[in-house]
């Protein structure tokens, strides 16, 4: 039986969206099951932990795009009922009920609201039974309140596009799919789970996620953190990281709880410095990129961080909050006017159901169990689980998991079904005199009520070169796109102005309309008639003259417009991987299994890297068999070439077309032409010379200890964490030392060795926290010390004398030990990183690791790059693994897979349009004098002076069409196709003519 | 006094989107402002600002991303320099530099856009007609 080529995605977490995106790009169809009635009704992780209070377009944009292309189908109010069959040929029974308003054809005219006769007051807010759900700033969701709606049917009659239908019966459908992705959302702790913290019991205790969601459309401002009880600004705020104090098993702490707390504290402090902000936690876990720096900033801002083993929260008069906490051997108490809770993640509530329907297994924590060393494979072939369904996760991991399993999914899919629609033949109008057609959208008649479109049309008729003015119903629903396109065609114009609405959501539709009429979109302009005129002003006369001015300016701009095809550039199909460690090998194997050729460049004479000396990790992963297997596969693959003892000497080119010169010791220089580059150069262990390390053989690092573990069978071992790190010189956490130390401590303890562990914060995150409790149970002693008061080695005769003052009481403690083990952490290979970063035009972060914006932390820096295709946002270079940031081996493998997954989305394409812009900056060769000013101002290194012709050239792949070069150019040689100098000037003239 | 005219050069990613948001949220603001979209505020040429003032604009607003948040990394800083240049020239032409304003308005701040427009319109109304309108020539 041939395999199906559709994939079913259950749930709307970010991984699921990313998988849909990746598959859509590869030409496979996906069906997404959303249990809610609109896009974000069920909150996923991003909307729950989001520390940056920004919009979240990356989940929505692909959805809109792929629904439009027919590559994606979304079922709302849906659920999975039954799964039969096996990988490649699943038969899935699902139920679904379409939403009342199909927002894909809704034009947001709001006629339905105008005619709705039912007034409702909910939470003090007056609205109709038909209303806009305004939780998300970027999309208006029209809804019908089922409890109040009288089903009079007025709204349905009023709807001009047929988007609104009251009769939406539940249907049960059977779909055939090749693979099933389980990506249900994050489960927020509820009232009962947070009972210890008084949430919902006391009014002035709020969840951080609620603050984030409330501020989505306004940004986080002073109004965002007023006391709910009286609307006043609190003078003291407590921030509590609840999973660290809650009963075990209720909620799990994810990647960014601590970061979220510190981020929130910083924000509050920076908006109103007078507010006292105190964070309560047990451990401050700041292992993400830049998180330690955030902590330092908080210290400067005067945020207090109290580390305590337990707290209790109560209300005191005036709805104030009192927090009692353990300190030393006594209790302390402090009062606050408001408390913000940073919560963790509950075990997934969908687990039981999915276990029954899909046959998957749960782990001991109630999350979905995965096969070891994989990032998504469950025990059932063809069913994959991703994102927060498998463990408490941070946003970066969740996003990466969207690309990681692409290879695994494709194994179960048949031939592709979706072909991108063919572009209609575009007319060549270069020899014609400009004839401008103005098409004014009436939004199905709703604009007429606010502004006299007839008058406007008459005035526009007088604009020179305008040969046609017509009022159309719209150009954003399938039928109106068709009708407007044919009206444009009939009118015989060769330039088009669409006076319509927001391009944010509809730009593609406008472009489609113009393209269907046989014109290049460069010959069109869009006016935001609704957002810039109709909805924001009241005076009809002024509205009309503003609309006229805007259209006049657009017409002047258009008369000089010239058509041109979007630039295309060839895309190679091979990859180069720098570094033959486990990360690089994993990426190479992934790519070879996808059918792509790759070259591994390794400077030493063997591959395998540092993983070869690792044995197991705290979770029991055995690395040796995995690595051996990996090396075997790499050596056996015909698609992978390994170049050992090879160094890179020069790099030129850009994404899709790199040119790399290399030398191999003892051989001639050679060249590679990869399309994408994966940097997996790893990092180094920190070298320290304190605590007599190197002088006294009894003082070792954790990795030294691992080699000697079999020789230590009794006595007392002391360990010190954060040696030489998390200080002003190296303000970052190496993420793996705590689990390594506890792992070694547990192994020693098993043999009867006493272990004392000095630490600042135990970074055992997620499920790893279990091992901390295990270590305490087994009698391993944990002693916390302060950043400014590290333990001291006071004597080293028969035994090592270590003294330390207690974090809370300040009492001096003295222990004697036979061995002292230092957790020294990971340092970047600065020299190498700087060299490669320079060659590939990458940035290093403040700590010396690679910093590629959208790679760094998809939610932290990537926001500015949301509008770009994800897979080329780092311009074809993907730093992964330790080269990017400290992380465990398993996390490193995920990074390798996501980079290879992203690469395999672009490598099959022979030609690619520039990823960043539709029309890029260009050079008029006749005018350019080669002064090079434009090269200096370009933020993307997209311009250079041609060494032969001595004039500027642009690499379209790197250009983002900002126009900085255009302004800098003293001889007007640089230009942007859609914003030429003469176009701009004449549109300013026209704008002000009336 | 005639109706005043304000030209707003807005960057595609932040301020133009903020204006979009103001529109979709149906916020009301003063109608004298007329928008020209640029990809980046760094595309603002001092000539555009002066041309607008000479053509009869009473005020010019340039809107870009907030510092550190520029879609194009540092375009907004370039814009700042260009606006400074335009102000210097405007001053020598006898134009009150308060008629030229640069504002950082992030994409998510529709209300801020409306506020800035209202405030700037107020300011321009206070300053009255641009006295050099149609009088200076380069």
Averaged pLDDT for residues A82-106 = 91
Chain pair A-B, CB pairs under 8 angstroms? 149
**Least confident piece of the model among A489-493, A502-506, A717-721, A950-954:** A502-506
Stated length of chain B: 138
| pLDDT for residue A137 | 54
Looking from the CA of A31 toward its CB, the CA atoms found within 13 Å total: 24
Say if residues A328 and A211 touch (Cβ distance below 8 Å): no
CB contact under 8 A, B34 and A528: no
Q: Which one, of A880, A849, A837, lies nearest residue A731 by Cα?
A: A849
Do A519 and A663 reside in the same domain of the chain? no
Q: Give the domain CATH number at A140.
A: 3.30.70
The pair phi, psi for residue A8, each rounded to 5°, is: -100, 130
DSSP codes of every residue in A807-822? TTT--EEEEEESEEEE
CB of B82 within 8 A of CB of B45? Answer: yes
- pLDDT classification of A507: cutoffs 50, 70, 90: confident
The DSSP-derived string for A130-155 is: EEEE-S-TT--EEEE-TTT-----HH
Whether the per-residue pLDDT at A863 is higher than 80: the answer is no
Looking at A908, A929, A962, the residue that finishes a domain is: A908
Q: What is the CATH number of the domain that holds A704?
A: 3.50.50.60
Q: What is the mean pLDDT of chain A?
A: 88
pLDDT computed for residue A314 by the predictor = 93
ipTM over 0.85: yes
pLDDT surpassing 50 at residue A867: no
**Residues in A touching B111 (Cβ below 8 Å):** 218
B window 67-106, beta carbon within 8 A of A: 69-75, 78, 82, 106
Report if residue A737 sits inside a domain. Answer: yes
How many whole angstroms from its chain centre is CA B66?
15
Which residue blocks in A428-525 are alpha helix, DSSP H? 453-460, 478-491, 503-516
Residue-level pLDDT at A63: 67
Domain boundary (A314, A342, A370) is at A342
- For A747, the token pair is 């192994």
The C-alpha of B54 sits at a distance from chain A's nearest C-alpha, in angstroms, of 9
* Chain A residues with CB-CB distance to B43 below 8 A: 962-964, 966-967, 976, 979
pLDDT of A399: 79
Are B84 and B71 a contacting pair, CB within 8 Å? Answer: no
- Taking residues A116-141, report their average pLDDT: 81
A857, A792: one domain:
no
User: How large is the average pLDDT for residues A542-569?
Assistant: 89
Contact yes or no for A537 and B34 at CB 8 A: no
**Residues of B with Cβ-Cβ distance to A864 under 8 angstroms:** 13, 65, 69-71
Mean pLDDT of A235-257: 89
DSSP string, B91-116: HHTT--GGGEEEEE--TT-HHHHHHH
Residues A592 and A657 in one domain: yes
- Domain assignment of residue A988, yes or no: no
Same domain for A704 and A795, yes or no, is yes
* Domain edge (last residue) among A802, A827, A852: A827
The residue count of chain A comes to 994
| Cβ separation A864–B13 shorter than 8 A | yes
Strand partners, A125: A122
Judge if pTM exceeds 0.90.
Answer: no
Pick the CATH number of B6-135 from 2.60.40, 3.40.50, 3.80.10, 1.10.3470: 3.40.50
pLDDT band for position B134 (cuts 50, 70, 90): low
CB A554 within 8 A of CB A527: yes
Mean pLDDT value across residues A802-826: 90
Number of CB atoms found within 10 A of residue A364's CB: 9
Backbone φ and ψ of A3, nearest 5°? -75, 150
> Which strands sit side by side in the sheet containing A812-817, from one edge to the other?
A792-796, A800-805, A812-817
Mean pLDDT of A798-818: 89
Nearest by CB: A535 against B17, B26, B51: B26
Predicted local confidence at residue A14, as pLDDT: 82
Rounding to the nearest 10 degrees, give the CA dihedral for residues A707, A709, A712, A713.
Answer: -160
Distance from B120 to chain A by nearest Cα, in Å?
16
The CA-atom distances, in angstroms, between A324 and each of A11, A280, A416 are 40, 11, 61
What domain range includes position A125?
Answer: 103-161
Please tell me the distance in Å from B91's CA to the nearest CA on chain A: 21
Which tokens sit at A466?
Answer: 């305008």
Pair (A223, A113) in one structural domain: no
pLDDT attached to residue B101? 95
Whether residue A205 is found in the same domain as residue A324: yes
Distance CA A619, CA A444 (A): 61
Confidence at residue A560, expressed as pLDDT on a 0 to 100 scale: 87
Percent of chain A with pLDDT over 90: 51
- What's the pLDDT tens digit per position in A437-450? 999 999 888 888 88
pLDDT, position A478: 79
**What are the phi and psi torsion angles at A890 (to 5°)?**
-65, -40
Same domain membership, residue A550 and residue A443 = yes
Check whether A135 has a pLDDT greater than 80: no
Question: pLDDT digit string (tens) for A756-786?
Answer: 999 999 988 888 889 999 999 999 999 999 8
Contact yes or no for A537 and B72 at CB 8 A: no
CA distance A872 to A654: 11
C-alpha span between A837 and A542 (Å, rounded): 54
Token pair 């304190």: residue: A690
Mean pLDDT of A134-141: 66
- Whether residue A727 sits in one domain with residue A752: yes
Cα–Cα distances in angstroms (integers) from residue A698 to residues A718, A742, A796, A825, in the given order: 11, 19, 9, 19
Least confident of A135-144, A244-253, A411-420: A135-144
pLDDT in tens, A933-986: 999 988 888 899 999 999 999 988 888 888 889 989 998 899 988 888 889 999
- Residues A47-70 have pLDDT tens digits of 776 655 554 555 566 666 677 667
Asked if A937 reaches chain B (Cβ–Cβ under 8 Å), the answer is yes
CA A869 to chain centre: 12
For residues A53 and A589, what is the distance between their CA atoms, to the nearest angstrom? 38
pLDDT in tens, A561-581: 888 887 888 889 999 999 999
Question: Between residues 382 and 421 of chain A, which touch chain B (CB distance below 8 Å)?
Answer: none
Tokens read off for B51: 């041309």
A966 — contact with chain B (CB < 8 Å)? yes
How far apart are alpha carbons A129 and A145 in whole angstroms?
5
Q: Are residues A696 and A775 in the same domain?
A: yes
Helix (H) or strand (E) run with residue A281 in it? strand A276-281
What pLDDT score was predicted for residue A124? 80
Confidence bin at A455 (pLDDT 50/70/90): very high
> Do the beta carbons of residue B19 and residue A532 sit within 8 Å?
yes
CA separation, residue A991 to residues A232, A391, A475, A548, B10 (Å): 46, 56, 25, 9, 14
Structure confidence at residue B136 (pLDDT): 58
Task: Specify whether the backbone of A961 is left (phi greater than 0), alpha (psi in -120 to 50) or beta.
Answer: left
Number of domains composing chain A: 7
> In the prediction, which pLDDT does A75 show?
93
Name the residue among B20, B43, B56 with its Cβ closest to that of A963: B43
**A31 and A178 share a domain?**
yes
B134 and chain A in contact, CB less than 8 A? no
Q: Where are the domains of chain B?
A: 6-135
Asked if A816 and A698 sit in the same domain, the reply is yes
Which stretches within A539-697 are classed as H helix? 540-559, 582-593, 623-636
Contact between A962 and B39 using a beta-carbon 8 Å cutoff:
yes
Which of A142-146, A267-271, A485-489, A883-887 is modeled with the greatest confidence?
A: A485-489
pLDDT of amino acid A869: 53
Mean pLDDT on B90-108: 90
For residue A846, pLDDT over 90 is answered with no
Whether A174 and A58 share a structural domain:
yes
| Residue A778 resides in a domain | yes
């Amino acid at each position: 039986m041939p395999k199906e080529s559709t994939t079913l995605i259950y749930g709307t977490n970010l991984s699921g969206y990313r998988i849909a995106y990746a598959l859509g790009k590869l030409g496979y169809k996906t069906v997404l099951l959303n249990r809610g009635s609109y896009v974000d009704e069920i909150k996923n992780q991003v909307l729950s932990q989001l520390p940056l209070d920004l919009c979240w377009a990356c989940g929505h944009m692909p959805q809109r795009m792929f629904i439009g292309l027919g590559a994606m189908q979304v079922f709302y109010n849906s659920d999975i009922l039954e799964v039969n069959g096996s990988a490649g040929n699943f038969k899935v029974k699902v139920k679904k009920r379409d939403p009342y308003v199909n927002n894909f054809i809704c034009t947001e005219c709001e006629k339905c609201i105008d005619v709705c006769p039912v007034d409702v007051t909910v939470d003090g807010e007056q609205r109709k039974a038909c209303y806009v759900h305004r939780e998300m700033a970027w999309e208006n969701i029209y809804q019908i309140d089922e409890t109040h709606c009288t089903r009079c049917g007025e709204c349905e009659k009023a709807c001009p596009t047929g988007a609104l239908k009251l009769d939406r019966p539940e249907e049960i459908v059977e779909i055939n799919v090749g693979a099933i992705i389980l990506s249900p959302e994050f489960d927020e702790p509820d009232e009962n789970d947070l009972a210890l913290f008084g949430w919902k019991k006391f009014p002035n205790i709020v969840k951080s996620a609620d603050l984030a969601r409330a501020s989505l459309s306004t940004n986080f401002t002073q109004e965002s953190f007023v006391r709910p009880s009286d609307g006043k600004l609190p003078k003291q705020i407590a921030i509590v990281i609840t999973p660290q104090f809650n009963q075990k098993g209720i909620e799990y702490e994810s990647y960014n709880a601590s970061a979220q707390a510190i981020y929130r504290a910083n924000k509050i402090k920076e908006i109103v410095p007078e507010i006292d902000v105190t964070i309560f936690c047990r451990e401050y876990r700041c292992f993400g990129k830049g998180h330690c720096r955030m902590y330092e900033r908080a210290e400067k801002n005067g945020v207090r961080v109290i580390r305590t083993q337990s707290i209790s929260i109560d209300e005191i008069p005036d709805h104030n909050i009192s927090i009692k906490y353990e300190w030393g051997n006594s209790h302390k108490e402090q009062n606050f006017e408001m408390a913000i809770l940073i919560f963790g993640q509950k075990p997934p509530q969908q687990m039981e159901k999915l276990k029954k329907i899909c046959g998957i297994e749960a782990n001991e924590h109630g999350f979905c169990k995965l096969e070891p060393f994989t990032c998504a494979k469950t025990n059932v072939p063809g069913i994959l689980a991703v994102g927060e369904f498998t463990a408490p996760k941070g946003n970066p991991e969740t996003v990466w998991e969207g690309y990681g399993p692409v290879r695994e999914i494709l194994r179960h899919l048949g031939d592709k079904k979706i072909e991108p629609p063919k572009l209609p033949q575009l007319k060549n109008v270069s020899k014609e005199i400009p004839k401008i057609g103005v098409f004014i959208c009436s939004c199905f008649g709703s604009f007429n009520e606010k502004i006299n479109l007839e008058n406007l049309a008459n005035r526009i008729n007088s604009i020179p070169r305008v040969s046609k003015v017509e009022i159309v119903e719209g150009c954003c629903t399938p039928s109106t796109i068709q009708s407007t396109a044919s009206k444009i065609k009939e009118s015989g114009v060769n330039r088009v102005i669409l006076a319509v609405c927001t391009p944010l959501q509809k730009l593609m539709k406008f472009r489609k309309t113009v393209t269907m009429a046989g014109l290049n979109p460069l010959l069109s302009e869009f006016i935001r008639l609704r957002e810039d005129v109709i909805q924001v002003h009241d005076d009809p006369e002024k509205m009309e003259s503003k609309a006229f001015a805007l259209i006049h300016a657009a017409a002047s701009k258009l008369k000089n417009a010239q058509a041109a095809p979007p630039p295309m550039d060839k895309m190679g199909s091979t990859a180069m991987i720098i570094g033959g460690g486990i990360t690089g090998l994993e990426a190479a194997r992934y790519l070879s299994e996808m059918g792509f050729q790759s070259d591994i460049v390794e400077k030493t004479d063997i591959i395998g890297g540092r993983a070869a000396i690792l044995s197991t990790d705290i979770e029991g992963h055995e690395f040796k068999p995995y690595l051996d297997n990996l090396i075997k596969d790499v050596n056996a693959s015909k698609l992978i070439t390994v170049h050992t003892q090879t160094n890179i000497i020069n790099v030129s080119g850009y994404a899709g077309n790199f040119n790399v010169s290399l030398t191999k010791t003892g051989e001639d220089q050679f060249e590679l032409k990869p399309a994408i580059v994966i940097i997996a150069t790893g990092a180094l262990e920190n070298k320290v010379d304190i605590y007599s390390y190197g002088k006294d053989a009894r003082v070792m690092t954790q990795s030294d200890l691992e080699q000697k573990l079999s020789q230590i069978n009794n006595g007392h071992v002391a360990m010190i964490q954060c040696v030489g790190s998390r200080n002003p010189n190296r303000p970052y956490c190496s993420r793996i030392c705590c689990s390594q130390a506890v792992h070694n401590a547990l192994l020693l303890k098993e043999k009867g060795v006493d272990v004392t562990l000095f630490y600042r914060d135990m970074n055992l995150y997620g499920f790893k926290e279990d091992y901390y409790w295990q270590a305490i149970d087994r009698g391993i002693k944990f002693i916390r010390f302060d950043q400014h008061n590290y333990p001291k080695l006071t004597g080293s005769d028969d035994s090592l004398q270590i003294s330390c003052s207690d974090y809370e009481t300040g009492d001096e403690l003295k222990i004697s030990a036979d061995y002292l083990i230092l957790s020294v952490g990971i340092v970047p290979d600065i020299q190498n990183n700087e060299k490669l970063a320079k060659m590939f035009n990458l940035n290093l972060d403040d700590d010396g690791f690679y910093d590629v914006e959208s790679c760094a932390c998809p939610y932290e820096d990537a926001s500015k790059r949301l509008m770009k295709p994800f897979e080329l946002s780092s311009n074809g270079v993907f730093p992964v693994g330790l080269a990017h940031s400290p992380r465990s081996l398993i996390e490193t493998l995920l990074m390798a897979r996501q980079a290879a997954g992203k690469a395999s989305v672009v490598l099959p394409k022979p030609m690619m349009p520039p990823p960043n812009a539709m029309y890029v900056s260009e050079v008029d060769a006749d005018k350019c004098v080669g002064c090079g000013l434009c090269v200096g101002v370009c933020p993307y290194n997209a311009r250079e002076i041609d060494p032969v012709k001595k004039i500027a050239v642009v690499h379209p792949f790197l250009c983002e069409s900002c126009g900085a070069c255009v302004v800098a150019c003293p001889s007007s040689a640089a230009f942007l196709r859609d914003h030429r100098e003469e176009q701009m000037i004449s549109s300013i003239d026209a704008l002000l003519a009336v | 006094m005639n109706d005043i005219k304000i030209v707003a050069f807005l960057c595609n990613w932040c301020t133009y989107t903020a204006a979009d948001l103001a529109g979709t949220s149906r916020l009301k603001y003063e109608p004298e402002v007329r928008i020209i979209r640029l990809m980046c505020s760094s595309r603002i040429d001092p000539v555009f600002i002066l041309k607008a003032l000479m053509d009869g604009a009473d005020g010019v607003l340039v809107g870009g991303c907030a510092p550190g948040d520029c879609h194009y990394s540092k375009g907004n800083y370039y814009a700042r320099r260009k606006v400074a240049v335009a102000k210097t020239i405007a001053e020598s032409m006898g134009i009150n530099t308060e008629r030229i304003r640069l504002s950082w308005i992030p994409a998510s701040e529709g209300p801020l856009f409306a506020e800035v427009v209202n405030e700037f319109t107020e300011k321009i109304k206070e300053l009255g007609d641009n006295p050099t309108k149609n009088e200076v020539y380069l």
